[in-house]
Amino acid sequence: MMSTLWGDDPSQDLIEFRKRLDEIIVTFAARNVSDLFPILAPFDLQGIESKAKEQLSWFYGVFESMIKNRRNIRDDGKEEEKISKDFMQQLLELHWRGDEKNSLSINEVKALLLDLMVAGTDTVPTAVEWAMTELLRHRDKMTKLVKELDMVVGNQNTVEDSHIPQLVYLDAVIKETLRLHPVAPLLIPHVPSETTVIGGFTVPKGCTVFINVWAIQRDPELWDDPLRFQPERFLEADINYRGNNFGFFPFGSGRRMCVGVSLAEKMMALLLGSLVHSFEWGLSEGTKPSLEDKFGIFFEENGITCCYTRCTTS
């Protein structure tokens, strides 16, 4: 994710960055009494707000240092070739445009970078962990996937981007995993701009609306035998991640759906495909991985709330 967002920066301590990301996720996931009783918020009884501010300050300090370096290179003029056209650079060019309608403030640039780091570093591994858990519980599905990988990739090669379009069963395994175990079970909440009546229910303007995609994707009226891990169901129907099927939309739907769908789709395929293709997996006799999940993160920052579940299998 760091390479994708701002390139390979040798000044960054990967271990420290990973540690800080873990800490900020734990802080955002912590139960805060001030969320239940807003009148207590000014007192910050549990110290969560002060801790979050300290962690945000650290990340923003790192981003400010990188942005300053980019600005110096830009102002130099003689080192234009050193400026990489990564995601950070695209955001900075929007900032430097100076157009009030279309430009971004520096705070918006920093917030976007942090949002993408938090959202993109733990969610993909969590989804892959769920997929491995289901495959270990269903050896016939694992065997079928191994055969496809051997046929498409070959024993002497590693899984590459070019293989992904041909790995249809791998795609079905990932989709079935996200159907049963959506990483964001309540998606990103929406706030209606006007009062609306839907199905006889009044949805007030300004309220927070959560969509329980976890329940929808396990609805027996929408899916046959919904609690069964059956990737083949996605071989029989043309269902994608674009949110146009309201029985399956783990990334949301409409204009506010997850912006990282394409990246996540490729990352999950490469990671899961590589794990299954490169290693032989098995369990001790008489054991079976648990499907118990736990609350991972549910936080609100700048009016945006996120949540996801994590598999507890080790």
| Annotated binding-site ranges for heme | 258
How far apart CA 257 and CA 250 sit, in angstroms, is 9
Residue with the two structure tokens 């910050």: 44
How far apart CA 293 and CA 296 sit, in angstroms, is 9
Q: Residue 111 corresponds to which tokens in the numbers above?
A: 């917030």
Q: Residue 78 corresponds to which tokens in the numbers above?
A: 């003689």
Residue with the two structure tokens 């955002």: 28
How far apart CA 151 and CA 163 sit, in angstroms, is 11
Q: Residue 2 corresponds to which tokens in the numbers above?
A: 């760091």
Residues 311, 312, 314: CA angle, nearest 5 degrees: 110
How far apart CA 216 and CA 201 sit, in angstroms, is 18
Q: Which segments are annotated as binding site? A: 258
Cβ-contact 142, 135 below 8 angstroms: yes
Beta bridge partners of 112: none
Question: How would you classify residue 243: left for phi > 0, otherwise alpha for psi between -120 and 50, otherwise beta?
Answer: left
| Burial of 276: CB neighbours in 10 Å, binned 0-12, 13-18, 19+ | buried
